[in-house]
Amino acid sequence: MTRSYAIRTFGCQMNVHDSERLAGMLEEAGYTAAGGDETPDLMVLNTCAVRENADNKLYGNLGHLLPTKKANPGMQIAVGGCLAQKDKGEIVKRAPWVDVVFGTHNIGSLPALLERARHNDEAQVEILEALEVFPSSLPARRDSAYSGWVSISVGCNNTCTFCIVPSLRGKEKDRRPGEILAEVQALVDEGVLEVTLLGQNVNSYGVEFGDRLAFGKLLRAAGEIDGLERVRFTSPHPKDFTDDVIAAMAETPNVCHQLHMPLQSGSDRVLKAMRRSYRTERYLGIIDKVRAAMPDAALTTDIIVGFPGETEEDFQGTLDVVRQARFMGAFTFQYSKRPGTPAAEMDLQVPKQVVQERYDRLVALQEEISWELNKELVGKTLEVLVSAGEGRKDADTLRMSGRARDGRLVHFTPGETQIRPGDVVEATVTYGAPHHLVADGPLVSHRRTRAGDNSEAGLRPKTNGISLGLPGFGTPPAASTNSGPTTEEGCAVR
């Protein structure tokens, strides 16, 4: 009998992309996606270990699943992702009704582990300490008909004291440019209009094959793919940011003028304690260069408030950088201990009430800046790629939503026009709010797209892993000059 599956994803974009791979493998193994109210035969929890209360969230979800499993004896529960990599066999000790635990380095093992758990009638725990097969060689069931993640690397070589990712995802492993471009082309062939190049640190891409300028070359090469309308990337690290990437962004028409670059703190002393390998002058210098090349660039960032030892003077430094940088938006976090990180053992942990008060001030300042920047766009006409996730806002306004090229969320009025997720409209901004724009006037234009056709038909890209025959991670032949993005046969393509 055909078995159904459902996947719950927690955490970052990398986990979202891993879940697409898990879905692709399960469907290749004969599973089908469960309907909305259907109890699945398999529930997969793809976990995060970075966010606060990650453990409580996992075991809370597992507790809620226990009565369902008791009522459905054939149901299986699998736990993967970063928390599984960290906790290993502890998960089945605390939740013995879990059938499979797998880590970040072996997501491709899930179908076999599920079968083994059924056959042996006992839990299977398999955690590898290093990546053996690049996830991009696995099939994927994409969530969106119009937009897709494309991984360019996995892992991270940095040692930030607040971050547990390197120990869970491993050292950086880079895909060859030809692999990446082949995957992008496959998505475009399926009707996808927008791709986001994904990595823990995208602008250190090329470190494995010795080309420090590889990421800028990759952006330019993506610009040559016919039918690809938007290219985004996340996330870069300021210490590795090079001028050629700014030039590639400015000179490649389909690369969006959007930059998410984590700041984390505006205090040089705190940045040193975080092991962030750059200082505020360097960070602001990159922003100045970006704005000189692309005056319309929209910048976003990550900021941690209350890192151990942060003083009021340190925090004022963060506020000063935020005022100077004028971010479109910021993901702001209150520091909390992450077991296994050096920062968790540091002295001078900042009291919770102090962290909360500083956090509130930072959020208020950023909202003021975001609102000012969004109000400046009133009267401007923006190109909007219509989104499926936001859909129609409510019965009163009947607005639909989408993303402008710079990443801003736009709510627009479609009128009587039949518009589908994946279509492209041009709309004139009538109101700017801190976190979104409103365009309530008549649409300037509407372009029906193949992505919109696919959304309307309920179709999603399903890409298979492709290999050109080279083992491992696509290490180039000895004769390769590593001169940048190519589609040479000396690489593995997913």
Q: Which region holds residue 482: left if phi is over 0, alpha if psi is between -120 and 50, else beta?
A: left
Which candidate, 60, 62, 58, places its Cα nearest to that of 76?
Answer: 62
Beta-carbon count within 10 A of 52 CB = 13
**CA-CA distances (angstroms) from residue 51 to 58, 315, 336?**
11, 22, 9
Pair 192, 145: CB distance under 8 Å: yes
CB distance 64 to 28 below 8 Å: no
Let me know: does 141 contact 24? Beta carbons within 8 Å.
yes
Strands (E), 159-229: 173-174, 194-198
DSSP 229: -
Tokens of 111: 């179908």
Q: Give me 474's structure tokens.
A: 């696509």
**256 annotated as a binding-site residue:** no
Q: Is 491 annotated as a binding residue?
A: no
Three-state DSSP at 350 gives: coil
Q: What angle do CA 160, 9, 14 make, to 5 degrees?
A: 40
CB 151 within 8 A of CB 169: no
Residue 20 has which token pair? Answer: 């697409």
How far apart, in Å, are the Cα atoms of 138 and each of 18, 22, 114, 467? 10, 8, 17, 10
DSSP 29-91: TT-EEPPTTPPPSEEEEEE-SSSTTHHHHHHHHHHHHHHHHHHSTT-EEEEEEHHHHHHTTHH
| Annotated binding residues for [4Fe-4S] cluster | 12, 48, 82, 156, 160, 163
Residue numbers in the known binding site are: 12, 48, 82, 156, 160, 163
